[in-house]
Structure 1
Amino acid sequence: MNRQPFSATREIIVANAVQDVANELRLVELADYIAFIRLESMASIADIVESAAELFFMPGTLRLGHGCEAHVTWTDSPRIALDLELRPQGATIYFTLSLTAFQAGVEVSYVAFDNPSDDPDLNSVFLQETLENSRIRKSLPSCVNE
C-alpha cells in the first residue's frame, strides 16, 4: 500500500477516537484472545469489541472487521491485532488496532467518504468532526441543593 501524505494525520485522528476503547479491550485476558483466535471464534471477539465500543460510541459505529491475529512467541512481548471498521456518519475507516501490555497502535488501511472533497485536508477535518459526533456524550449528574 502506498502511504499518502495525509495518512499519518488520519491515523492520529483514529487513534485519538479509539483510545478509550483500546484501554477497555486491554482489560480482557490475553489468554482469552489467544483462545478465541486459535478456535476461530470470531463471534466472541466481535462481542468483546462491541461491548467495549458501546461505552464510547453510538451503536454500530465500531465493529470487528475481517479478522484478528495473536502474535505470541517465546522471545517477544505478546501482541493482539484486531481488524476493525469504524463507521461514523459519512465515512468508513478500515484499520488495525494492535494491543500490547502497555500501548496500542493504529494502522489505517483505507478511508472511504460518502461525499469526499477534492481537498484531503478537508476530508481529514470532516473525519475528526464525524468521529466526535459519533461518540456518546457522558453527562454529569445535576446537583440540587436542598
Structure 2
Amino acid sequence: MIRQSHASSREIIVAEAIADIVRELRMVDVADYIAFIRLEHFACISDLVDSAAELFFLPRTFRLGNGGQAHVDWSTIPRIELDLELRPRGAAVYFTLTLCDADASVEVNYVAFDDPDPDPEKNTAFLVTAIEAARIRRSEPAV
C-alpha cells in the first residue's frame, strides 16, 4: 500500500484520541490476549475493547475490527496487534494498534469520509472535529 503524505498526521490524531483507551487495554494481561487470539476468541477481545471504549466515546464509535495477531517467540518481547475501527459521525478510521511491553503505536490503514473534501487537510481537520464530537463529556463534581 502506498503511504499518503497526510497519514502521519492522522496517526498522531488517532493515537492521541485513544490514549485513555490504550491505558485501559494495557490493564489486560498479555497472556489473555495471546490466548484469545490463538484460540480465535475475538468476541472476548471485542468485549474488552468495548468496555474500555465506553468510558471515553459514544456507543459504537470505537470497536474491534477484523481481529488481531499475537507475535510471541522465545527470543523477543510479546507484541499484540489489534485491528480497530474508530467511527465518529462522518468518518471511519481503520487502523492497527500495536501493544508492546513499554509502548504502543498506531498505524492507520485507511480513512473513509462520508462527504470527503478534495483537500486532504480539510478532511484531517474534519476528522479532529468528528472525534472530539464523539467523546463522552464528564461533568466535574460539584465541590
1:38 is displaced (CA, Å) by 1.1
Look up the match of 2:7: 7
**Conserved in 2, the CA contact under 8 Å of 1:26 and 1:101?**
no
Give yes or no for the alignment of 1:80 onto 2:85. no
Q: Deviations 1:47-100 (Å, cap 9, x if unpaired)?
A: 000000101111100000001001111111111100001100000000000011
Q: Deviations 1:92-137 (Å, cap 9, x if unpaired)?
A: 0000000112211000000000010111000000001111111111
SS of the aligned residue for 2:18 comes to: helix
Give yes or no for the alignment of 1:18 onto 2:15. no
State how far apart, in whole Å, the 2-side matches of 1:72 and 1:5 are.
32
SS of the aligned residue for 2:108 comes to: strand
Greater CA radius of gyration, 1 or 2?
A: 1
Gaps of 5+ in 2: none
Percent of aligned positions with the same letter in both sequences? 59
Correspondence list, 1:1-146, <5 A: 1-143=1-143
Aligned residues: CA RMSD: 0.7
State how far apart, in whole Å, the 1-side matches of 2:38 and 2:51 are.
21
Aligned partner letter, 1:94: Y
Q: Which runs of 4+ in 1 moved over 3 A?
A: none
State how far apart, in whole Å, the 2-side matches of 1:4 and 1:34 are.
32
Aligned length: 143
Structure 2 length normalisation: TM-score?
0.98
State how far apart, in whole Å, the 1-side matches of 2:125 and 2:140 are.
28
Gaps of 5+ in 1: none
State how far apart, in whole Å, the 2-side matches of 1:97 and 1:67 are.
11
SS of the aligned residue for 1:80 comes to: strand
State how far apart, in whole Å, the 2-side matches of 1:45 and 1:67 are.
8
